[in-house]
A = this chain, B = another copy of it.
Amino acid sequence: MRTLEEHRELAEQALAGLPFAEELSGLEEALRYSLLGGGKRVRPVLCLATGEALGCEAEELLPAACALELVHTFSLVHDDLPALDDDVLRRGQPSAHVRFGEGIAVLAGDALLAEAFRLALGYSDPGVARALADATLGMIGGQYLDVTAEGELGAEALQRLHALKTGRLLAACVESALAVAELPEEPRGPWRSFGRELGLLFQIVDDLLDATGTAEELGKTPGKDEAAGKVTYVSLHGLDRARELAEDTRGRVLERLEALSADTSVLEDLVATIRERRA
C-alpha cells in the first residue's frame, strides 16, 4: 500500500499529464495554470486512499481522482470572480481572472467542470459521474447561500452551508471510490459516515486557518471571511471553542475509520495532515 505522500505524487503526476479535449487548446494555459498551481490534493488523495483500502488499483482510481480535483478547481476559479468572492490570490498566485481576465476565467471554470464529467464518464458505471453531479449541485447551492447570507446565520445554517460547499465534494471523493470498487450498497453506509464527518472536520480547520494563518501558509488571502462579515466556526464560537470542536470532530472521524473493516492507515495519516494544515 502506498504512503500518503506517494498518493499525493501520483495525483500530482496524473493531473500534470491530463490530456484536455483538443477543442480546448486555446484555454489550455488557463486550465493548467489553475489546476497545477499547488494545492494539497486532499480530494484525489482521499479518493485514492479510500479506493486502495477497498482493494482497487490506483490506476483504476486515477480518472475519478483527477475529476474530483477538476471539480474543486472549477469551484475555486468561479468563486474567486469579482462578482462572487472577489479574491485576487489563490494557491499563492494571482487568481485566474486576475491573470487571464474574467471572460477566460468563466470559460476555464466551465471547461474544468465539463472535463471532470468527461473523465468520470470514462467509467462504464455512471456512479462516479453521479457522485460528481450531486456534489457540484450541492457546492453551487452552498456558494449561493454563502454569497447571499447577511450575517444572520446560526450554528445550524452554518453547518448546512459548509456541508454543501465543502462537505459534499469530500463525500463524493469517498463515494467515487466506492463506485470504482463496485462495493455493494449495504457496506457503503459506514464509509459515507466517515466521509461526512471528514467534511465537517475539514471545514472547521479551514475556518481556524482563515482566522490564524498567513497568506504564505494558506496560499490565499487570510482573514477574508471575517473581513466580509461571514459567519465561521471561529466567529460563531470563538477560537478556543472552534479548536475544541475540531478536536472532537477529529476524534469522531478516527472512530469511524476504526469501525471500518479495512486497512485505513493511509486515511488516518490524511486526517492527521488535515488537522495540522491544509491549503
Chain A residues within CB distance 8 Å of chain B: 21, 23-27, 74, 78, 81-84, 101-107, 109-111, 113-115, 117-118, 121, 123-124, 126, 129-130, 132-134, 136-138, 140-145, 147-148, 164
Given A84-B103, A102-B83, residue A114 in contact with residue B143 (CB < 8 A): no
Closest 3 CB pairs of A and B: A23-B141, A83-B102, A83-B103
Q: Which residues of B contact A74 (CB under 8 A)?
A: 110
| Contact present for A83 and B101 (CB under 8 Å) | yes
Contact of A129 among B24, B26, B121 (CB under 8 A): B121
Tell me if A's interface is mostly helix, strand, loop or mixed.
helix
| Contact present for A110 and B78 (CB under 8 Å) | yes
| Contact present for B106 and A81 (CB under 8 Å) | yes
Contact of A23 among B101, B118, B137 (CB under 8 A): B137
Q: CA of A138 to CA of B126 in the docked complex: distance in angstroms?
A: 22
Residue on B with the closest CB to A163?
B23
